[in-house]
Structure 1
Amino acid sequence: MSVHLLDVESRDVSAGQLGLVVDAPAPRPLVELNLTDPAAGELTLGVLGASHVVTATARGHTLTEQVSCDAIAAGGRPLPDVEHRQGYRFTSHIETVSRRALGRRAEMLRTGAAGRSGWLCAEFPGDRDALTVLTAAATGGHWHWRTWHLYPYRDESVIVETESVWQP
C-alpha cells in the first residue's frame, strides 16, 4: 500500500455533515482497492471526497456502505453511533483532538498502512493530514473493515472512525 496523493478538492469538509446509507447504488470512487477471499467473497474499498464507499459481494448477496456528505440525500441518515441489519453491524466514533494529536494519528496511520496489503490511504490537497484510510480483512467467511476520516482544522481537529462487519 502507498498513500494516494489525490489531485481533487475534498467534498466532505465537515464531520458533522456525514451520513450513512446502506444498500444504495455505490458512487464511483476516486481510488479503490479490490480484495478477494474464497470464503467471504469480494470486497471493494473506495475513497470518495474525504469519505468512503465499501461494496461487498458473496454467495449472491451484495452490501454497499457509504459514509459521506451525500449519504443522507441518497436515502441514508445522519451518521449513527450504531447500525444493525441482518448480517451487518456498523459503529462510528467521532473524536475532537488537537491539531498536534491529529498529526500524530495521521503519521501513525500512514506508517501502519505502508507496505501492507488490505489498506487504502488517500491524502487530499491543502493539508498533509487530510486523510481517508480504510483497511479490511476476511475471517471465517465474513468481512471486517475499519475507516478513519481525518479533518484538520486550525485549532481543534476531528477524527471519524468507523468499524463494520458483514456476513451474508
Structure 2
Amino acid sequence: MSAGATAAATTTAAALTIADIDAPFHDARSDQLTYSLVEPRITPLATASADVQVTAPDGTTRSLRVELGVLGTSHQVTVTLPEDHRARGRVLVRETLACLSADARGAAAESDSDADAGSDPGADSGADAGAGTAGPVPPHRRSKLATGTIDVAHTVHEPADLSGDVAAALASASAMEVSCAAGFPGDPDALTILGCDADDEALVWRTWHSYPQAGEIVETRTRFVPGATR
C-alpha cells in the first residue's frame, strides 16, 4: 500500500470507528513483519491521537501524547511530549511493526523523513545496543532507552473463529483511552486494530493485525515506562 493512500470511508463497530482503506495489504503473513524502534515517522493511512495521563509511584501525574497509526504495512505508535511541555513534540519512543524491505522503508518514510530529525530516542548513547536495530518480531523484548524502558510481547494466533477473535479485539480496543482501527478491501476481517491505556506510571498499548488470507492474527502488547524528562 502506498504511503499516500487514504481512508475512503468509515464504518463503526461498537464505539470504535473503523476507517475503510481503499488499498490492499503490503504484508499478508506474520513472517513478513519486522519490529523496530528506530524508524522515522511513516505517513499513516488512519490515525488517532490523545494526551494520556500517567501516574508516577510518588503520585505525581504527567501527560504524554500518543499517536496510533495504521500503515499499509501494519502499525506505528509514537509517544511524544505534549504541547504544554517546553520540549513539546520530542519523540520519547516510536514503535514500528511493518514489512520493512529496504526499498519500502525509504519510499514509505520519504514524505515525513524530516519531520522529527534528531529526535530518535534509540540514537541516544543511553539506549541499549538492541534498541538501535530492526529485526524479526520478538516473542518478548525489553529495551532500555534514554527516554525510558519498553517491553513488547508478540504472539501469532491461528484461531478457529477468526471473525469472533476480530470482534473481541475491536471490543477490547474500543474500551481503551485512545484507539484506532482500519479495514482493508477483500475481506471484512482484514483489519488492523490499535488501543492504548495508562497503567499507573506506564503507557500500555495493544495491537491486532488480522490476515484472513493466512488465517492469522498477530497480537502485540507493549508497555512503556517513561524516564524523567526535562
Shared topology, TM-score over 0.5? Answer: yes
How far 1:113 sits from its partner (Å)? 4.5
Whether the aligned pair in 2 keeps the contact of 1:47 and 1:122 (CA below 8 Å) is: yes
Cα distance in 1 for partners of 2:170, 2:199 equals 24
What's the Cα RMSD here? 2.1
Greater helix content: 2
Aligned match of 1:81: 139
AA partner of residue 97 (structure 1):
P
Q: Are 1:12 and 2:72 matched, yes or no? A: no
Aligned match of 1:125: 185
What whole-Å deviation, never above 9, does each CA across 1:50-69 have from its counterpart, x for those lacking one? Answer: 51000012475520100011
Unaligned runs of 5+ in 2: 1-15, 54-61, 82-86, 106-132
Cα distance in 2 for partners of 1:116, 1:97 equals 23
- List structure 1 segments (4+ residues) > 6 angstroms apart after TM superposition: none
Secondary structure of 1:160 counterpart: strand
Q: Is the deviation greater in 33-42 or in 87-96? A: 33-42
Whether the aligned pair in 2 keeps the contact of 1:32 and 1:120 (CA below 8 Å) is: yes
How far 1:140 sits from its partner (Å)? 2.5
User: Percent identity over the alignment?
Assistant: 29
Aligned match of 1:36: 51
Aligned match of 1:97: 159
Unaligned runs of 5+ in 1: none
How far 1:141 sits from its partner (Å)? 3.3
Structure whose CA Rg is larger: 2
What TM-score, normalized by structure 2, do the two folds share? Answer: 0.65
Cα distance in 1 for partners of 2:37, 2:142 equals 10
Aligned match of 1:49: 72
Whether the aligned pair in 2 keeps the contact of 1:46 and 1:54 (CA below 8 Å) is: yes
Paired residue total: 163
Q: Is the deviation greater in 124-133 or in 6-15? A: 6-15
Cα distance in 2 for partners of 1:112, 1:37 equals 17
134, 144, 148: which is aligned to 2:204? Answer: 144
Q: Are 1:68 and 2:98 matched, yes or no? A: yes
What TM-score, normalized by structure 1, do the two folds share? Answer: 0.87
Q: 5 Å matches for 1:106-117? A: 106-113=166-173, 117=177
